[in-house]
Amino acid sequence: MSTSTQPTREMTPAYLQQAYQRLIDALPKTGAQAIEWEDLFWRWNDLKCWISGEFSRRHFKEMQDSRDKAAEDAMRFMREQILPLAETSDATLREAFLQSPVRGALESALSQHLFTKLELDQEAFVPDNVALQTQEGEISSQYERVRGGAEVTINGETLTLTRAQAKLTDPDRAVRQAAWEATNAWELDHRAQMHGIYDELVTLRQQMAVNKGEANFVPLGYRRMGRTDYGPAEVRAFRDGIRQHVTPLLKRFREAQARDLGTETVRPWDAAYYPNLSLGPNVVPVENQLAQAQNLFDRLHPTLAGHFKAMVDGGLIDLENRPGKCAGAFATAFEDEGKVVIFCNSTGTDGDVTTLTHEMGHAFQGWESRPIRSVDLRWPTSDACEIHSMGMEFLALKEITAFFSPEDAKRFRRLKLIRTLTLLPYIAVVDAFQHWVYEHPGHSHAEREAAWVEAWDTYNPGIDYAGLEDAKATRWMRQPHIFVMPFYYIDYAIAEVGALQLWRMAEEDHDKAMTAYLELCRIGGTRSVLGVFQAGGLKSPFEPDVFKPLMEAVAAELGV
Ligand SMILES: [Zn+2]
């Protein structure tokens, strides 16, 4: 838990510069005891909490309204004036701790994993890249703003892209097709602009790699994700596991879906619609969702119920979609205030329930990890973080009648497994595409689109894009991670392997799964991803046959 904060003080570069200089001047002299280093570490930790909190607050505000100029400027100030200063000073302090003559004693006192993390951060730090990272953040936020501000018209109704996409599950085929066509037309109108934004980002990242003396961005991309347990070779083998064990099942499923639809093939506007399963556009009215979620968590576990209630009471959940609000959903912490917040875009569909339970999974971990004093150890790497969120999606199934009638609850459960089945291959597409992009600097737009299509066909067959080749080739533009957080995507598949194991555990013994889940939340980021799997009693995602029994269970449930 953070002890000292300066929430009322304005964060200026001059003040921050002074604060860092005081820490650097206070670095222990030769012969100092470990305790002096520790004291300094905690002072540094407080400063990091403040900066992190300030970043999250400004980012949250910016995402809440893409048209809020003041919020945009406040975030730009953070990116341009604060973060570069903090990054450079953090590197100085980090280096001092890594070179400390009493490092062994510090590792025992503060944790060895912390030092592994500091080492990795230091390895990823290149002074020449600080300015490039500022530009990268600016261009990324441009992507968010363009999409957040986008509106399309469907049958005379003007909608955000998020609301338009929600109509892809509408039972009326004409509505689905109109929604798909309108969003696709928007994508194609912005094809050159999206390529342009991505060009700038890819070029910047390639330059960062060159500055580090590396041939391409892949190793730096992995380091930035904090990955210590695996590299591109393990990820390739993991994608192979998806191709071998999930893709064939998906193919069979799409054939069954076409039969249910009464069509020869599954067309893109039908891909997210499953006859007899779709729950309709307003199955969970947004105004009921918080009370229903409270009911769900009350039934699941008192600890979860308490955290949720505190968030609702504290106004820490921004739930509904509205014009100008940026798309997507996330959880984040205001570390200096000891608060966790979530951001959703609820529109009334069953997908909202998935998103809300997902983001609450992150939030539960955030609250449970608060007693971990080092901010660097509170959140694990995202591949482990997503176990909390995706695991909660599965654990929630048991009490999901808090949101749905018993019949709809059965449908929702089935839909959840279908989502897993369709998600894993799609993740492999996004991941394979990104590796290709960064392994081929200087590629053309046509080559880029061809690489996407090839990855799509390899892992994710079964949707008929005949006559709609442009739509297929530009489908990646919809995926924010590709632009904003390179390589952050396979994490979801790695975590889903953990989440599926929690699901199997819960089917046998719900209390046991709940205990394992809370333990995973409590340890936060004190271990690397494989250490987290181990702590939850879960098999490593990189074991060769890990997919087989899990997919057999999914196939049995779905009857395909
Ligand atoms: Zn997540």
Model pLDDT for residues 385-398, shown as the tens digit of each residue? 999 999 999 999 99
Expressed in angstroms and rounded, the spacing between residue 358 Cα and the centre of ligand 1 is 6
The per-residue pLDDT of the chain, averaged, comes to 95
* CB-based burial label for 243 (10 Å; 0-12, 13-18, 19+): middle
* Distance from C-alpha of 50 to C-alpha of 335, rounded to nearest angstrom: 7
Confidence of residue 327 (pLDDT cuts 50, 70, 90): confident
Q: Structure tokens of 182?
A: 């309108």
Closest by CA to 38, choosing from 95, 111, 89, is 111
Expressed in angstroms and rounded, the spacing between residue 21 Cα and the centre of ligand 1 is 36
* Distance from C-alpha of 306 to C-alpha of 317, rounded to nearest angstrom: 14
Expressed in angstroms and rounded, the spacing between residue 210 Cα and the centre of ligand 1 is 31
Neighbours of 184 (CB within 10 A): 19
Expressed in angstroms and rounded, the spacing between residue 86 Cα and the centre of ligand 1 is 26
pLDDT digits (tens, 9 = 90+) for 481-532: 999 999 999 999 999 999 999 999 999 999 999 999 999 999 999 999 999 9
Q: DSSP 3-state assignment of 266?
A: strand
Closest by CA to 491, choosing from 367, 362, 395, is 362
CB 376 within 8 A of CB 118: yes
Q: What is the pLDDT of residue 471?
A: 98
471 Cβ contact list (under 8 Å, min separation 6): 184, 187, 188, 268, 465
Q: Is the pLDDT of residue 169 over 60?
A: yes
Q: What is the pLDDT of residue 8?
A: 61
The residue type of 288 is: N
Provide φ and ψ at 322, rounded to 5°. Answer: -155, 160
Expressed in angstroms and rounded, the spacing between residue 409 Cα and the centre of ligand 1 is 23
Bridge-based pairing state of the strands 317-320 and 339-346: parallel
The torsion angle over the Cα atoms of residues 543, 531, 383 and 495, rounded to 10 degrees, is: 50
pLDDT digits (tens, 9 = 90+) for 170-225: 889 999 999 999 999 999 999 999 999 999 999 999 999 999 999 999 999 999 99
263 Cβ contact list (under 8 Å, min separation 6): 270
Expressed in angstroms and rounded, the spacing between residue 174 Cα and the centre of ligand 1 is 32
Expressed in angstroms and rounded, the spacing between residue 390 Cα and the centre of ligand 1 is 7
Expressed in angstroms and rounded, the spacing between residue 242 Cα and the centre of ligand 1 is 20
Q: Is the pLDDT of residue 48 over 50?
A: yes
Expressed in angstroms and rounded, the spacing between residue 310 Cα and the centre of ligand 1 is 21
CB 160 within 8 A of CB 264: no
* Distance from C-alpha of 106 to C-alpha of 550, rounded to nearest angstrom: 41
Expressed in angstroms and rounded, the spacing between residue 24 Cα and the centre of ligand 1 is 36
Expressed in angstroms and rounded, the spacing between residue 534 Cα and the centre of ligand 1 is 20
Expressed in angstroms and rounded, the spacing between residue 382 Cα and the centre of ligand 1 is 8
Expressed in angstroms and rounded, the spacing between residue 442 Cα and the centre of ligand 1 is 32
Expressed in angstroms and rounded, the spacing between residue 353 Cα and the centre of ligand 1 is 14
What is the secondary structure of 107-166 as a DSSP string?
HHHH-HHHHHHHHHHHHH--TTHHHHHHHHHHHHHHHHHHHHT-EEEETTEEEEHHHHHH
pTM over cut 0.85: yes
Q: What is the pLDDT of residue 233?
A: 97
CB 431 within 8 A of CB 489: yes
Expressed in angstroms and rounded, the spacing between residue 359 Cα and the centre of ligand 1 is 6
Find the mean pLDDT for residues 436-457: 98
Expressed in angstroms and rounded, the spacing between residue 364 Cα and the centre of ligand 1 is 12
- Considering Cα of 470, then 235, then 388, then 58, what sign does the dihedral take? negative
* Distance from C-alpha of 54 to C-alpha of 256, rounded to nearest angstrom: 50
Break the chain down into helix, strand, coil percent, rounded to 5: 70, 5, 25
Phi-psi region at 352: left, alpha or beta (left = phi > 0; alpha = psi -120 to 50): alpha
Written in H, E and C, the secondary structure of 295-356 is HHHHHHCHHHHHHHHHHHHCCCEEEECCCCCCCCCEEEEECCCCEEEEEEEECCCHHHHHHH
Selected residue with higher pLDDT from 476 and 282: 476
Angle value at C-alpha 209, between 203 and 212, nearest 5 degrees: 145
Q: What is the pLDDT of residue 5?
A: 46
Expressed in angstroms and rounded, the spacing between residue 365 Cα and the centre of ligand 1 is 11
Expressed in angstroms and rounded, the spacing between residue 362 Cα and the centre of ligand 1 is 7
- Token pair 């449930």: residue: 557
pLDDT digits (tens, 9 = 90+) for 223-245: 999 999 999 999 999 999 999 99
Expressed in angstroms and rounded, the spacing between residue 361 Cα and the centre of ligand 1 is 8
pLDDT digits (tens, 9 = 90+) for 106-147: 999 999 999 999 999 999 899 999 999 999 999 998 998 898
Provide φ and ψ at 345, rounded to 5°. Answer: -135, 60
**Stretch (H or E) spanning 51:** helix 34-64
Q: Is the pLDDT of residue 6 over 50?
A: no
* Beta-bridge partner residues of 266: 463
Q: What is the pLDDT of residue 340?
A: 98
Q: Structure tokens of 207?
A: 């330059």
454 Cβ contact list (under 8 Å, min separation 6): none
Expressed in angstroms and rounded, the spacing between residue 383 Cα and the centre of ligand 1 is 9
Expressed in angstroms and rounded, the spacing between residue 498 Cα and the centre of ligand 1 is 13
Expressed in angstroms and rounded, the spacing between residue 487 Cα and the centre of ligand 1 is 14
CB 395 within 8 A of CB 513: yes
Confidence of residue 279 (pLDDT cuts 50, 70, 90): confident
Q: What is the pLDDT of residue 1?
A: 37
Expressed in angstroms and rounded, the spacing between residue 261 Cα and the centre of ligand 1 is 31
Angle between helices 83-98 and 103-110 (to 10 degrees): 110
Closest by CA to 179, choosing from 200, 158, 197, is 158
Expressed in angstroms and rounded, the spacing between residue 297 Cα and the centre of ligand 1 is 18
Expressed in angstroms and rounded, the spacing between residue 363 Cα and the centre of ligand 1 is 10
| % of the chain beyond a pLDDT of 70 | 99
Expressed in angstroms and rounded, the spacing between residue 490 Cα and the centre of ligand 1 is 12
CB 28 within 8 A of CB 358: no
Expressed in angstroms and rounded, the spacing between residue 360 Cα and the centre of ligand 1 is 9
pLDDT digits (tens, 9 = 90+) for 401-441: 999 999 999 999 999 999 999 999 999 999 999 999 999 99
Expressed in angstroms and rounded, the spacing between residue 484 Cα and the centre of ligand 1 is 15
* Distance from C-alpha of 132 to C-alpha of 26, rounded to nearest angstrom: 30
Expressed in angstroms and rounded, the spacing between residue 178 Cα and the centre of ligand 1 is 30
* Distance from C-alpha of 130 to C-alpha of 88, rounded to nearest angstrom: 8
Expressed in angstroms and rounded, the spacing between residue 425 Cα and the centre of ligand 1 is 17
Find the mean pLDDT for residues 67-75: 94
